[in-house]
Amino acid sequence: MTAETAKRQAFVPELLGRSDYAIIGEIVEPNTKVLDLGCGEGELLQWLAENKGVDARGVEISGVKVQRAIARGVSVYQGDIDEGLADYPSSAFDYVILSQTLQQTHRPLKVVREMLRVGRRVIVAFPNFGHWAVRLSMLVGGGAPKTKLFPYNWYDSPNIHFLTVRDFEALVGVERLVVERRYFLAGRRKVWLLPNLLAEVAVYLLSGSAG
């Protein structure tokens, strides 16, 4: 399936049980160098290595997850995304992936800038806090929103920054980033209209500004 035909399709196949992974799996070109930040147990990296022949590396803070990733043959090191990128030379990777983790970093802007420094392209996937279910939950319940996408109580949530599609678009403008592709998903369905209201997850393929 080419990127063009995929774009026109209404549904996204799942990859490893996740539709955003399917998008990422589609974006990443074969035989490239990929760094996955917050890579968990390295499932996506392993898939990319086996199916796209990429040189796969990962960073993960949880020691237990790092162990499982290494045991499956993926080169992952235990470290903090907020600190971990500084050592890498510029443009060390073709892609730097941050999948559903931006909202958990302490300094998201610094992370995005660092990703764009060490990677020629950046893939960011994040849950959309502007989704109607989140808005409704807050409007009706009056408490911190709890939805399928944001299932945590406010006091034990790993999410510390809540961003919407609109917020991210604003950041793209301020930082003068180039959006090569953007995808909006609700479950396995692609969202074409009102993404800030209807998308559960957004996936952006970015490159740094030309000037």
Partner 1 sequence: MMVEANCVRFNSLLLDNGATLAPVDVAYETYGELNAQRNNAILILHAFSGDAHAAGISHDGGKPGWWDNCIGPGKAFDTSRYFIICSNILGGCRGTTGPPSLNPATGCPYAMSFPVITIADMVRLQTMLIDWFGIERLLAVSGGSMGGMQALEWAVAYPERVVSAIPIACTTRHSAQQIAFNEVGRQAIMADPDWNNGDYYGSKPPARGLAVARMIGHITYMSDDSMREKFGRRLRGKQTFGFDFDVDFEVESYLRYRGSEFVNRFDANSYLYITKAMDYFDLSNRQGSLATAFAATQARFLVISFSSDWLYPSYQSQEIVRALRTRNRDVAYVELPSNYGHDAFLVDVAEQTDLIRGFLASTFDKVQ
By C-beta, is 53 or 173 nearer to partner 1? 53
Spatial neighbors of 171 by CB under 8 A, at least 6 apart, are: 109, 112, 177
> Mask 9-48, x = binds partner 1 (CB under 8 A)?
----------------------------------------
Burial 151-188 (b: 16+ CB within 10 A, else e): eeeeeeeebeebbbbebbbeebeeeebeeeebbbbbee
Query: Does residue 87 touch partner 1 according to CB under 8 A?
Result: yes
Query: Does residue 211 touch partner 1 according to CB under 8 A?
Result: no
Spatial neighbors of 57 by CB under 8 A, at least 6 apart, are: 33, 34, 35, 36, 45, 74, 75, 76, 93
Q: Which stretch binds partner 1 (CB under 8 A): 88-96, 142-150, 163-171, 198-206?
A: 88-96
> Mask 62-81, x = binds partner 1 (CB under 8 A)?
-x--xx-xxxxxxxxxxx--
Size of the site for partner 1 (CB under 8 A): 20
Is 48 within 8 Å of 54 (Cβ atoms)?
A: yes
By C-beta, is 96 or 199 nearer to partner 1? 96
Is 36 within 8 Å of 56 (Cβ atoms)?
A: yes
Query: Does residue 61 touch partner 1 according to CB under 8 A?
Result: no
Q: Which stretch binds partner 1 (CB under 8 A): 55-63, 147-155, 190-198, 202-210?
A: 55-63
Is 17 within 8 Å of 41 (Cβ atoms)?
A: no
Which pair of tokens denotes residue 75?
A: 């080169």
Minimum Å gap between C-beta 86 and partner 1 is: 9
Contact residues for partner 1, defined by CB under 8 A: 55, 57, 63, 66-67, 69-79, 87-89, 92
